[in-house]
Amino acid sequence: MEKRVQFATVSGVMLLLLGGGAIYAQPRPDPQRGHELASRVCKACHVIDRETSSSIQADVPSFAVIASRPWVNAEYVAARIMNPHPQMPGIPLTTQEIRDVTAYILSLKRND
């Protein structure tokens, strides 16, 4: 039951966060702002740039690897930021910051 409540809560937030029919007009997600923010708060653990090939930690995927996974979409990325796994620190971000970081990560998806 607890997992259903957690899923429902995250799902509800996701609808507000990423939904096109949001009640409040929000600025479009900005990948450049997302990159700047990731450079400050994510770079300690993740390789955030596609050009950087060195791994920071062997078990922490780069943003490019995350983006390249077939099932990854905006909802998935935002949910992982909002409800991080135990090793990932909870970093307080605004809704717009989550949208910006998500847009940046998805901008690294290869269209090969």
Per-residue confidence band for 105, with pLDDT thresholds at 50, 70 and 90: very high
Residue 22 makes CB contacts below 8 A (sequence gap 6+) with 16
| Total residue count of the chain as it appears in this document | 112
**Between 92 and 55, the higher pLDDT residue:** 92
Residue corresponding to tokens 């983006």: 67
- CA angle at 95 for the pair 31 and 49, rounded to the nearest 5°: 30
More confident residue, 51 or 75: 75
Helices (H), the chain: 2-18, 31-41, 63-68, 74-82, 95-107
All structural domains of the chain, each given as residue ranges with its CATH number in brackets, are: 2-19+29-107 (1.10.760.10)
Of 16-20, 58-62, 84-88, 93-97, the poorest mean pLDDT is in: 16-20
The letter for the amino acid at 81 is I
- CA nearest 69: which of 110, 14, 10, 11? 110
CA 104 to chain centre: 8
